[in-house]
Amino acid sequence: MSSNWVQTAIPIAAYCASSITMTLVNKLVLSGFQFHMVFFMLAVQAFGSVGLMVLANRVGLNVKYRAMNMADAKTWFPVACSQALMLYTGGKSLEYLNVPLFTVFKNLTIIAVAYGEKLVFKAAVTPLMLTSFSLMVLSSIVGAWNDISFTGWGYFWMTLNCFTSATFVIHMRKVIKQVNFQDFDTVYFNNLLTLPLYIVLSLVQENWSGFVVYYSDKANADELSQFVQGMFISGVAAFAISYCSPWCLRTTSSTTYSMI
């Protein structure tokens, strides 16, 4: 009994720590600098996750993952795309919303996940669960009361993020059993499949000419240094949350995962 509790508590604590770190770093990178390069940030995070895994494997650490293959890629690609939508809408939300208000909306995702589990996995949604969800949302609203403000674009992106987050969590839980992925497999496939997508969208959608001109100015050298440091930390944090997400989801339900 004690052993089972520890095996569940450790991935939950790890996911909680990596999620908080990721949210704070993303907020810094996406609102603390002149340019808000969401797709570029996501590309750096995907590249960092894959790069750290390959490096760890090459130096002899116990990091093993399934080689990319067409059959698994086809099955997993919709999951990777849903993760990309979740991360992009979350990043856009953080451009406009502060972290306390962002947390309020993330707690609303719990309800969407619970009813998604009811629809897909026939899980029960009890009155006690709804009461718990309501108290969590209410407590987050009270905590963020002084920071609440109306930002139309922020609310728009956050609403999309709630739905894409619920879709990703439920879809990943369903497909991960079909392909029998281990934790490092999900990190590798998620990030390698979405990396080309992020690069193309960044080159097409984001203001690279303005970015190069602005940071070529020596007066902005200090900001560029801070931007690079933020991106580096973001890549490391992305690897951590990419690993902890499936690890946590494997040991709990989708609803419990979304509550963390």
Most confident of 26-35, 112-121, 164-173, 207-216: 207-216
Most confident of 120-124, 156-160, 254-258: 156-160
Lowest mean pLDDT among 127-131, 138-142, 194-198, 205-209: 138-142
Given this model, what pLDDT does residue 189 score?
Answer: 92
pLDDT at 127: 80
100 contacts 147 by C-beta, under 8 angstroms: yes
In this prediction, residue 202 carries a pLDDT of 92
Question: Averaged over 220-227, what is the pLDDT?
Answer: 90
Name the one residue in this structure whose structure tokens are 């897909």: 120
Instruction: Give me the pLDDT at residue 47, please.
Output: 92
Average pLDDT, the chain: 83
pLDDT-derived band at 260 (thresholds 50, 70, 90) equals low
CA distance 25 to 30: 9
* pLDDT for position 91: 84
36-43 average pLDDT score: 88
Percent of the chain surpassing pLDDT 90: 17
43: pLDDT confidence band, cut at 50, 70 and 90?
Answer: very high
Confidence of residue 175 (pLDDT cuts 50, 70, 90): confident
What number is the average pLDDT over the span 199-223?
91
* Residues 68-85, mean pLDDT to the nearest whole number: 90
Contact indicator for 176, 257 with CB cutoff of 8 Å? no
Note whether 187 and 65 are within 8 A (CB).
yes
- Spatial contact of 23 and 94, defined as CB atoms under 8 Å apart: yes
Which residue stretches of the chain are H helix?
2-31, 38-58, 70-96, 99-121, 127-143, 152-179, 183-205, 208-216, 221-251, 254-259
Poorest-pLDDT segment among 3-7, 105-109, 222-226: 3-7
Q: Which residue bears the tokens 């997400």?
A: 245
- Give, in order, the Cα–Cα distances in Å from 14 to each of 81, 143, 148, 155, 246: 24, 24, 29, 29, 11
* Mean pLDDT computed over 121-138: 75
pTM, full prediction: 0.76
